[in-house]
Amino acid sequence: MPKLISSNEFYELIAQFSGEIGQSSRGTKMILVKKLLCIGIFKSLPIFTKLDVNDQIIILKYVSRAVLLLCCCFVSYELGSHTLIEKDGFYPMAPFSDEFSFKEDKTLFALANKAFSKPMEPFHRIGISKEEFSLILAIIYLNPDIPGLSEFARDILSIEFSFYSKMLLNYLHNKLGIDAGTKKYAECFHLISTSFIGAQNFTSLYLYQESLYKRPPQSLKIPNSLKAIFSI
C-alpha cells in the first residue's frame, strides 16, 4: 500500500489541483497509469488476441473512461470512503469543499460532487465483492453493441458477453439464492450504465472549469504510437 501523504503534501496537492487542474505531474502520472491499467485489463481477457487492432481501439475508446471510474470507485469503496480517494489519502473532492479555493462557486461544487462522490453511492448501496467486480469489468469490455465494430468482432463479443453474463448470474444465484441473486445481477448491470453517466459528469466538470476559470485543456505528453489509444 502506498505511503500516506503528510498534511503539507496534501495541501500542496490541493494547490496544484486548484491552480493547474490536469496539468500537475501527479495528475498526468495518475491519468497515464490508469489508462495503461485499462489496457492491461482488456489484454488479460482471452478475447483480446482474437480481435483486430482497429476493433481493440474502438472498444478501448468506448469503455475506458467508464472502466477507469469503476476502478477508482472500487478502490475507494474498499477503503470505506464515500468519495473518490487515492490509496495515499488524497481525495480530489477536497479542493471543492468549503475550506478551499472553489467554495463560492455552487455550480462547480455540484458538478464536482456528481463527478467525485455520486458514483460511490451505488457501490455502498449494492455492496460489490472482488469476484463480482472482476466479472463486471469483463462484461463492460464485451459489449457487442459498441458502435463501429466489425461484424466479426460483434459475433465473438456476443458469445463472450453471454458467457460472462451467465457466469455472473450463476455466481450470484449460488451466493444469494435465485431471487436475491437475480436482483443483484440487475443492479450490477445498472452499475455499468451509471459508470458511463459518471464519466460524462467528469467531462462536464472539466469543461465548466476550462470555460469559466480559463483552465488550459487537459493534455498528456505521450508517444505517437499510443496517441490513438490515449485520445479518449
For 110-167, write each residue's pLDDT tens digit: 888 898 999 999 999 999 999 999 999 999 999 999 999 999 999 999 999 999 999 9
Confidence of residue 22 (pLDDT cuts 50, 70, 90): very low
In this prediction, residue 203 has a pLDDT band, given cuts at 50, 70 and 90, of: confident
Mean per-residue pLDDT, 6-18: 53
- pLDDT above 90 covers a percentage of the chain that reads 55
The Cα 212–Cα 205 span in angstroms is 11
149-157 long-range contacts, Cβ below 8 Å, gap at least 24? 149/55, 149/58, 149/59, 150/52, 150/54, 150/55, 152/52, 152/55, 153/51, 153/52, 153/55, 156/47, 156/50, 156/51, 157/47
The span from the CA of 50 to the CA of 179, in Å, is 36
Task: Note whether 26 and 14 are within 8 A (CB).
Answer: no
Mean pLDDT of 27-36: 72
| Counts of helices then strands in the chain (DSSP H, E) | 9, 0
Residue 12 has pLDDT above 80, yes or no: no
Angle, vertex CA 72, rays to CA 32 and CA 189, nearest 5: 120
Residue 94: pLDDT band (50, 70, 90) is confident
Which fold is adopted by the domain 21-230?
Answer: Retinoid X Receptor (1.10.565)
Local structure of 163: helix, strand or coil: helix
Alpha-carbon distances of 22 from 62, 158, 210, 228, rounded to whole Å: 21, 37, 11, 20
Q: Per the structure block, which three cell numbers stand in for 9?
A: 503534501
Q: Round to whole Å and give the CA distance between 22 and 24.
A: 6
The average pLDDT across 213-224 equals 58
Q: Among the listed ranges 20-29, 46-55, 144-153, 172-181, which one has the minimum average pLDDT value?
A: 20-29
- Tell me: pLDDT of 206 over 50: yes
Cα separations (Å) of 20 from 24, 117, 141, 222? 6, 21, 32, 19
Q: What is the mean pLDDT of the chain?
A: 83
